[in-house]
Chain A
Amino acid sequence: MGKTPPILLSNVGVRYNMRLKKKRTLRRSITQASRFDAQGHFWALRNINLEIQDGETVAVIGGNGAGKSTLLMTLAGILAPDDGSIAVYGSIATLLHVGAGFNDELNAEENILLVGAFLGVPTSVMRKKIPGILDFAEIGEFAKSEVRTYSSGMRARLGFAVATSVDPDVLLIDEVLSTGDASFRDKARDRILELMQKARAVVYVTHDLSSAKEFCTRSIELEGGKIIADGPARPIIDSYEKKMRGKLR
């Protein structure tokens, strides 16, 4: 096709200065000794080489502390790489966790505009999305009242509706596929699938291996901040599952 891949990471590394992060316990110092470099920096990601093509849905799996969230944040532009380079072609957005950026004192409409402002979406564009969002979330007359007064279900629906109102070229998902109550869940699933199909590439971080196998074409496994496996989703995830089950015994 000759089109540039939407995501290209070359030798990306992201490090944390452990003097700042007080999670440095003795146990970690020993078990994760290899991730500390000479200056005592902790490399959350190291030597990451990743190229994601059009149409790929990549599941990112791995244990806790493997670097999955760090990878997402780096893709989203929240963290800058301390090593290497990252190129993202096209707009990129994280499927927001429910209620991210919401302010309780504002009503539904105002919160939609606030989240839009956080995302950098022009107000005029966001305003046009408001009716669709309110409709999808089934907010009804509560649209004019403060979010403070909403039930948890309403909040979840509104949060989800706003989060999925984005239509990015590259979609990042961090464990958000199971939200809301059962009746809303089907609507939610369809919406997410729709987004995944529209996007040029999707990166899905999750512990939910069954959904990973269901939605994704490819999978990478992170361990100790490095990619230790990269290939078609099903086999990679299956062998990861086997490994995990082996560990539990």
Chain B
Amino acid sequence: MATASLRLTVGRPRRGPIGTIVETLRSIYQRRTLLLYLTMARVRQDGGSSLLGNLWLILDPAIQLAIYYFLVGIVLNRPQENFPLFLFAAILPWRWFTMALSSATESVRRHDKVMRQIAFPQIVLPLSAVAASTTSFFFGLIPLFSLYLVYPDRLTSWVLALPLVIAVQALWTLPFAIMFSALNVFLRDISSLVRHGLRLAFYVSPALFSFEKIQSVLAPYPPAHLILDLNPMAWILNAYRDLLYEGRSADWGALLAVALASIPFSLLSIYLFRRMSPSFVKVL
């Protein structure tokens, strides 16, 4: 019942990289129920089993939006036109990216007890963290789209291209989530580094300010400018802005480049994770 009828494990089975990746993907498919349940549990946790329950999945992003609107729009007085929409179009995806990486990084460590008792493909742990944050993201689209009731002229048919950008972001997030979850087992600091790194990245990203503004601010500092130019998240956020706020086509070339680069990165991260996973229980 629990595991296969015959399990013969001989010494060190040497499967090549492709074999390892295929085996991992197959194990994910075999344990898709586990992946689903872990995701549901995580979403439930994020949504809160408090009084307002699942409403928090919508309220949380909305409140964050309100705070930044106040901070940047009113206090710092740097508003773009229709600032709430400008902000939210980038903050929501950034929230997704942050949540996915933060929860994925801790996901393996958190399950140390069950890993020591049951054999299961540990890769479902970071994957479920990403899946759960993706679900929260979709809930966040509700308040985002309700902003179009306030700014109806900003709504164009370009919005329909949104799923493409979402797919690219998901692909881009995966390898980071998988790698950080594995590395965090061996180096506990990864968790803090990720948290602070994301925070820093947020403030220099085009999320709060326009891309042009950031560019002009960072122009006297060439290294920082380079980071911005080469940062695929910046391109992705710009794409969201283009479709949702500017109502124009996004830079599909850049997005395609990100997507194509993400595929080998994802496969590599799966391979590395699988190679490292036998050591998890030995370290925890």
Contacts and interface: CB of A to CB of B under 8 A. Distances in A.
Interface in B17-44: 30-31, 33-34, 36-38, 40-41, 44
Q: Give the interface residue-count category, chain A.
A: 35 or more
Interface in B106-123: 113-120
A193 interface: no
B217 to A, nearest CB: 42
Nearest to B46: A105
Q: Give the interface residue-count category, chain B.
A: 35 or more
A117 B282 CA distance: 23
B282 A16 contact: yes
Contact of A166 (B1, B34, B40): B1
Contacts of B283: 20-21
A87 B34 contact: no
29 contacts: A20-B186, A20-B282, A21-B283, A73-B116, A76-B118, A78-B117, A78-B118, A79-B278, A79-B281, A80-B278, A82-B12, A86-B8, A86-B9, A87-B6, A87-B9, A91-B3, A100-B113, A100-B114, A101-B118, A103-B45, A114-B37, A114-B38, A117-B34, A119-B2, A122-B33, A125-B1, A146-B49, A148-B49, A168-B1
B82 to A, nearest CB: 37
Interface in B87-139: 113-120
Nearest to A87: B8
A243 to B, nearest CB: 28
A166 B115 CA distance: 17
Interface in B231-284: 278-279, 281-283
A174 B120 CA distance: 18
A94 B6 contact: no
A211 interface: no
B11 A83 contact: yes
Interface string A77-106: 111111111111111111011001101011
A96 B41 CA distance: 20
Contact of B119 (A77, A110, A148): A77
Given A79-B282, A80-B278, A82-B11, A117 B37 contact: yes
Nearest to B278: A80
B235 to A, nearest CB: 36
A2 interface: no
Contact of B279 (A17, A88, A94, A105): A17
Contacts of B279: 17, 20
B3 A85 contact: no
B149 interface: no
A94 B116 CA distance: 10
Contacts of B33: 117, 122-123
B193 interface: no
B133 to A, nearest CB: 16
Contact of B2 (A81, A89, A93, A106): A93
A77 B116 CA distance: 10
B41 A114 contact: yes
B10 interface: yes
B6 A106 contact: no
Contacts of B44: 105-106
Q: Which of A105, A118, A168 has the most CB of B within 10 A?
A: A118
Contacts of A101: 114, 117-118
